[in-house]
A = this chain, B = another copy of it.
Amino acid sequence: MNMLSESLGKSERLQRSLPVLDWGRRYDRDQLSGDLTAALIVTIMLIPQSLAYALLAGLPAEVGLYASILPLVFYALFGTSRALAVGPVAVVSLMTASALAPLELQTLSEYTTAAAVLALLSGLILLGMGILRLGVVANFLSHPVIAGFITASGILIAASQLKHILGVTAHGHTLPEVLTSIWHELPNLNWPTLIIGVAALSFLFWVRKGMARVLVSKLGFEPGLAATIARVGPVFAIVGTTLVTWLLNLPGAGVKVVGEVPTGLPPLGLPTIDFALLGALVGPAVLISVIGYVESVSVAQTLAAKRKQRIEPNQELIALGASNVSSALSGGYPVTGGFARSVVNFDAGARTPAAGAFTAVGLLLAALTLTPLLYFLPKATLAATIIVAVLSLVDLSILTRSWGYSRADFLAVLTTIMLTLLVGVEVGVAAGVGVSLLLFIWKTSRPHVAEVGLVPGSQHFRNINRHKVLTDPSFVTLRIDESLYFANARRMEDLIQARVLQNRDELKHVILMFSAVNEVDFSALESLEAINQRLKDMGITMHLSEVKGPVMDRLIRSHFLEEMTGQIFLSQYEAFERLKRVSKEQIAEPSAA
């Protein structure tokens, strides 16, 4: 049907093979050195992150490490982005917690199994979408809905981590629940924990905002190096607070620590699958897949654009699907491409997906050797890491920006944010998509119709209310600014009828200008027939102008063109020239629009 989409289709098909075969064949020493450097920095960054996000998902810390090994290798094999760093991320961890909470599982092992099953389902859904080439599904998440969802999730995550900073136990999955629960527990707060938490938070905020500047100005570091050190800053917080906790034996004073983390390789094997569990997790798995995919692809596209590379959305589905399946088979939980670590990977010089594979080796070594050192790591420090990371995602300006541009977009953002905070992440994002679609349908069901006239000295026609244009009392031209379909067909009948009755005596012709009509469905065809018949009964002829090829193809297949009283003009100018009565030509003054 369309040349452009066909040629796109061909270039897509060429790129569908295993991407590693492409870049792997031309791998050289330069790329190796860039990839190794990037891998080292991302490894240092990912260790605390993976532990922290596992905690956020309600899982034991080692699950975060396991989810950062095989998935990276599989993404390196199948992914099309040169810089994307896959692993546990904040929003998906929150969604995992929110998906598992209603199951009311009794033991921790049931909980980790359910998390693996969620990753398996999510992986299979992504693979299925990739095979069916359904990458376009992600387009139904509008930018404002995504922005609103990420912002609300950031607020929710930060609030949920407050309990670790305060050293209290609290529950809940909505903002009011979490805050009320913390408020009630406030009398039980643990002062040593609070001191560690606030110290870690302050340090991390400083790392993010001021450290690089101080390193450059006071210590004479080279700016690039300073920025890299700032990126891995959380490691200093972890080492520092772990040492203090160990030296002062703070667990004895009530400071909660990570505790014993098993040393060794991730456990390989299919998680135990219970069909009742599968049923309960399919819905959340679909949302996790779509949200994870959208987050990952937008990061990948942003970075690819900087180096003029290309991301293949359907291949990304395959790659993320394989990553999640491998996560499920190695004791992990749902993963996707993360924003912060991908940027670090890119800035640190990653040239190919091999950087991800090297990072996986780093994490594997960490799982084999470092875990005993994590015993005294305070949970408050991990919570501080999470809070600082997610607050950078919170951007309430999307509310003011969308309000300024379009009320419909604002409504979609507001719905997403409010429902995510007050009801839950799944309801929030689903409602955002639903509201966006309904508003679109609503808008197209109430189309703009402009009466147009000729712009003097041109062959161009514009709205008589906005421009000084020529018109003729014996005919009226209505430009219909929407595809005609069932939801607006009857309204169009009414609008045309109302306009015709305004100067019924002089009127001899009605021209419907179809330049913006991209489709006429069966209901609208019947409405056109009704309009034609009614105008005929009044002695008025109906014409069409500027009917597009695809619309024309369809009209030809119906009987409408035989019944239509007037004719079809290739251009509106042709219609105007043919129908005008030169004697009566007059200039309409634009009135207030």
Chain A: residues with CB nearer than 8 A to chain B? 1-5, 7-8, 11, 136, 138-145, 305, 308, 401-402, 404-406, 408-409, 436-437, 440-441, 443-451, 455, 458-460, 462-463, 465-466, 478, 481-483, 485-491, 494-495, 498-499, 502, 515-519, 521-523, 525-526, 530, 534, 537, 546, 548-550, 554, 557-558, 570-571, 573-574, 593
* Contact (Cβ within 8 A) B405 A4: no
Of B404, B408, B460, which is within 8 A of A521 by CB?
Answer: B408
Within the assembled complex, what's the spacing in Å between the Cα atoms of A29 and B63? 89
* Contact (Cβ within 8 A) B448 A437: no
Q: How far is the CB of A23 from chain B (nearest CB, A)?
A: 20
Of B466, B485, B574, which is within 8 A of A440 by CB?
Answer: B485
Copies in the complex: 2
Q: Which residues of B contact A570 (CB under 8 A)?
A: 455, 460, 462
Known: A4-B499, A404-B558. 10 other contacts (CB 8 A): A7-B499, A138-B490, A139-B445, A142-B522, A143-B486, A143-B522, A305-B530, A437-B441, A463-B549, A481-B550
* Contact (Cβ within 8 A) A405 B558: yes
Of B136, B450, B460, B571, which is within 8 A of A549 by CB?
Answer: B450
* Contact (Cβ within 8 A) B593 A549: yes
Q: Which residue of B lies closest to A138 (CB)?
A: B490
* Contact (Cβ within 8 A) A458 B573: yes
Of B8, B486, B494, which is within 8 A of A140 by CB?
Answer: B486
* Contact (Cβ within 8 A) A522 B4: no
* Contact (Cβ within 8 A) B449 A2: yes
Q: Which residue of B lies closest to A482 (CB)?
A: B518
* Contact (Cβ within 8 A) B489 A139: yes
Within the assembled complex, what's the spacing in Å between the Cα atoms of A444 and B488? 15
Q: How far is the CB of A199 from chain B (nearest CB, A)?
A: 39
Within the assembled complex, what's the spacing in Å between the Cα atoms of A8 and B502? 10
A–B Cβ pairs within 8 angstroms, 21 of them: A4-B449, A142-B522, A144-B522, A305-B534, A308-B537, A401-B522, A402-B522, A404-B557, A404-B558, A405-B525, A406-B554, A437-B487, A440-B444, A440-B487, A448-B550, A458-B571, A460-B546, A460-B570, A466-B549, A516-B516, A549-B593
Within the assembled complex, what's the spacing in Å between the Cα atoms of A383 and B360? 75
